[in-house]
Chains A and B, each alone.
Chain A
Amino acid sequence: MEYFLQLLLGGLTRGSIYALIALGYTMVYGIIELINFAHGEIYMIGAFTALIMSSVLTLYGFNEVSIIVLSSLIALIYSSAYGFTVEKIAYKPLRGAPRLSPLISAIGMSIFLQNYVLLAQTSDFLPFPTLIPEFNFMKNYEHVFGSTELVIVVTTVLVMILLTILIKFTKIGRAMRATAQDKKMAMLVGINVNKIISVTFIIGSVMAAIGGILIASHIGQINFYIGFIAGIKAFTAAVLGGIGSIPGAVLGGFVLGWTESFATGYVSSDYEDVFAFALLVLILIFRPEGILGKSSSQKV
């Protein structure tokens, strides 16, 4: 029973990270129908920026709390600047082009950013500082659910609540939904669609960077390639839940997290990816629109 609980909570932690990244995929897809393959790289850049900033701040003798807050904040700003710029230079000029063109551009951007970090930093795994402290009240539960896991899950839930409020109840959120549903009409009511697209990339990048920082301090090491793996997994989660659907991305993230966690726990960690992608194949065969997605005939 305890083993089961351990796997359940482990899956929840993993799923949180997948959900955070998947939200960026799904929101961008919802608005411009593009799979932003460079999204995983934003997550990686978020983790790298946090690493560099925390080292610099440690060098200058900042205390623990200000290191966490400042380096995370700078990482979020830096990542969103990347997300914003990637859209401006790689996708915006291709708006109105056939759908394959921005997709190829996205793959190119992903490869470029990976190699740029590889050259600017290193190809080795770098140790990532444990930014998240051990809480005393978690001592008794440590064997099933540690402090970092708790922070990951709580942060994810908070981010999702904030995102829901933003999308459901604010003017900009309403404009984002309107743009996703009917871009031409959005223009006709006076929405600056380019601005909405930029905002979407920035929000997605912020969430990816949060995921990057959290998982890096959980696992304790990063390299230039982590974005690619996490990106593919989160993309899988977004497709599982139904690409374009925000609750779908969250659900897909958790379903994928649990699948991997239980596959690792009850079968073997070697089969983790096999189960994850077998699930994807099954969903694509039996429910191609995803768990919460709308069938394409309905969307029109």
Chain B
Amino acid sequence: MLLRLDNVQTYYGNIQALKGIHIHISEGEIVTLIGANGAGKSTTLMSISGITPPREGKIFFMDREIHNLTPDAIVSLGISQVPEGRHIFPELTVMENLQMGAFLRTDSKETKDDLEYIFELFPILTQRRNQAGGTLSGGEQQMLAISRALMARPRLLLLDEPSLGLAPLVVKQIFEIIRKINFTHNTTVFLVEQNANLALQLADRGYVMENGNIVLEDSSGNLLSNDNVRKAYLGI
């Protein structure tokens, strides 16, 4: 078991955003978390990353408790997040953004190799390497955000709404890359998506979230054919 959330309850002030959720992810899986706006999907990722630590419950990563650790300690264990809205450092160049992704790494040789691999994966970033991150298009920024997270060489990649605001063709391209990263590096992926159809096609398993609770958990195939899921999230 790579990641396990055990009865996680997270609050914003007095408002409870996560009401005791259980999630488990094994090494090499692609798991998706789907649900409506405000269901608590992003909060789940932020709780894992330590930005909004849970008030109750436990989070284990490789059998180690991480819910009390600071965000930088969590990154150093091998969990990287691509937050919703991409959050590119707007005035840092593409190159500097990528270097920030490798902030905690000390293996300069391997970091360099990874950088080359990124540029192979996203040739457009090579052309843009000296441009400020804020001047990139939405799709390019999403590619940069994923690349920045990969520069940390994570074991677990958390992706929050990578399809948000992007043209269908670009979305397809990005999902293709996610599959490729998972396949070639055995990087485990935890994907939060509103585009449930797309997410379930990519993922092995899925969780459905409603009002801070996990209401359903199954293989992607079963979720895709589940009547309630089809009605509520797939618009069929």
Q: Closest CB-CB distance, A199 to chain B, in whole Å?
A: 14
CB of B65, distance to nearest CB on chain A (Å): 19
Question: Judging by beta carbons under 8 Å apart, are B99 and A174 in contact?
Answer: yes
**Contact A174:B100 (CB < 8 A) given known A181-B89, A189-B148:** yes
Which one of B90-98, B135-143, B187-195 contacts A? B90-98
Is there an interface contact between A190 and B89, defined as CB atoms closer than 8 Å? no
Question: Which residue of A has the minimal Cβ distance to B104?
Answer: A190
Contacts known (A187-B51, A187-B71, A192-B70); A177 close to B92, Cβ less than 8 A: yes
Q: Are B75 and A189 in contact (CB under 8 A)?
A: yes
Instruction: A181 to B87: give the CA distance in the assembly, Å.
Output: 10
B49 touches A191 (CB 8 A): no
A188 contacts B by Cβ under 8 Å: yes
Within 8 A of B (CB), among A175-190: 175, 177-178, 181-182, 184-190
* B86: min CB distance to chain A, Å: 9
Q: Within the complex, what minimum Cβ distance (angstroms) separates A97 from chain B?
A: 13
**At the interface, yes or no: B83 with Cβ under 8 Å from chain A?**
yes
Question: How many A-B contacts are there with CB distance less than 8 Å?
Answer: 61
User: How many angstroms from the CA of A184 to the CA of B72 in the assembled complex?
Assistant: 11
| Per-position binary interface string of chain A over residues 190-205, scored 1 when its CB falls under 8 Å from any chain B CB and 0 otherwise | 1110000000000000
Query: Whole-angstrom distance from the CB of B71 to the nearest CB of chain A?
Result: 4
User: Cα distance A187–B50 when bound, in Å?
Assistant: 9
B174 within 8 A of A: no
**For the side of the interface on A, what is the size category?**
10 to 19
Are A189 and B103 CB-contacts (below 8 A) given A184-B51, A184-B83? yes
Q: Could you tell me if A188 and B49 are in contact, using CB atoms closer than 8 angstroms?
A: yes
Q: Is B71 a contact of A185 with CB atoms below 8 Å? A: no
Q: Does B68 contact A (CB under 8 A)?
A: no
Q: Are the C-beta atoms of A181 and B71 separated by less than 8 Å?
A: no
Query: In the complex the two chains form, what is the Cα distance from A191 to B152 in whole Å?
Result: 12
Complex CA distance for A72 and B99, rounded to whole angstroms: 36
Q: How far is the CA of A185 from the CA of B152 in the complex (A)?
A: 14
Which residues on the A side are within 8 Å of B103 (C-beta)?
171, 175, 189-191
Q: Is B76 an interface residue (CB 8 A)?
A: yes
Interface residue from A171, A175, A182, A188 paired with B75 (Cβ < 8 Å): A188
- For window 144-181 of B, CB contacts with A under 8 Å fall at 148, 152
Which residues of A lie under 8 Å from residue B89 when comparing CB positions?
177-178, 181-182, 185
Expressed in whole angstroms, the minimum distance between the Cβ of B4 and any Cβ of chain A is: 21
Q: Nearest-CB distance from B131 to chain A (Å)?
A: 15
A189 engages B91 (CB within 8 Å): no
B81 nearest CB neighbor, chain A only: A188
Interface digits, B50-74 against A, CB 8 Å rule (1 contact, 0 not)?
Answer: 1100000000000000000011100
Q: Which residues of A contact B50 (CB under 8 A)?
A: 187
Q: Which residue in B51, B70, B90, B101 is a CB contact (below 8 Å) of A189?
A: B101
Specify which chain B residues have a CB less than 8 angstroms from the CB of A187 in the assembled complex: 49-51, 71-72
Interchain nearest-CB distance for B136 vs A (Å): 15
Using Cβ atoms and an 8 Å threshold, which residues of chain B touch A182?
Answer: 87, 89-90
Q: In the complex where A188-B51, A190-B103 touch, is A177 in contact with B91 (Cβ < 8 A)?
A: yes
Contacts of B96 on A, CB cut-off 8 Å? Answer: 174
- Closest Cβ of chain B: how far from A189's Cβ, in Å? 5
Give complex CA distance A178, B101 in Å: 11
Contact, CB under 8 Å: A185 / B87:
yes
List A contacts of B51 (CB < 8 A). 184, 187-188
Q: Which of B87-138 contact A (CB under 8 A)?
A: 87, 89-92, 96, 99-101, 103-104
Q: Judge whether A191 and B72 touch: CB under 8 Å.
A: yes
A247 to chain B, nearest CB (A): 13
A178 to B99, CA, bound (A): 11
Closest to B97 in A: A178
Chain B residues within 8 Å of A171, by CB: 99, 103
What's the Cα separation between A219 and B90 when bound, in Å?
Answer: 43
Could you tell me if B75 and A190 are in contact, using CB atoms closer than 8 angstroms? yes
Least distance between B55 CB and chain A CB atoms (Å) = 16
Which 5 A-B pairs have CB atoms at the shortest separation, nearest pair first?
A: A190-B75, A185-B87, A187-B71, A190-B104, A190-B72
Q: Which residues of A contact B (CB under 8 A)?
A: 171, 174-175, 177-178, 181-182, 184-192
Given contacts A174-B99, A177-B91, 20 further A-B contacts (CB under 8 A): A174-B92, A174-B96, A177-B89, A178-B92, A181-B89, A182-B87, A182-B90, A184-B83, A185-B87, A187-B71, A187-B72, A188-B71, A188-B75, A188-B80, A188-B87, A189-B75, A189-B100, A189-B103, A189-B148, A190-B72
B interface residues, Cβ below 8 angstroms from A: 49-51, 70-72, 75-76, 80-81, 83, 87, 89-92, 96, 99-101, 103-104, 148, 152
- 10 A-B pairs with CB atoms under 8 Å apart are A174-B96, A178-B92, A185-B87, A188-B75, A188-B87, A189-B104, A190-B76, A190-B103, A191-B100, A192-B70
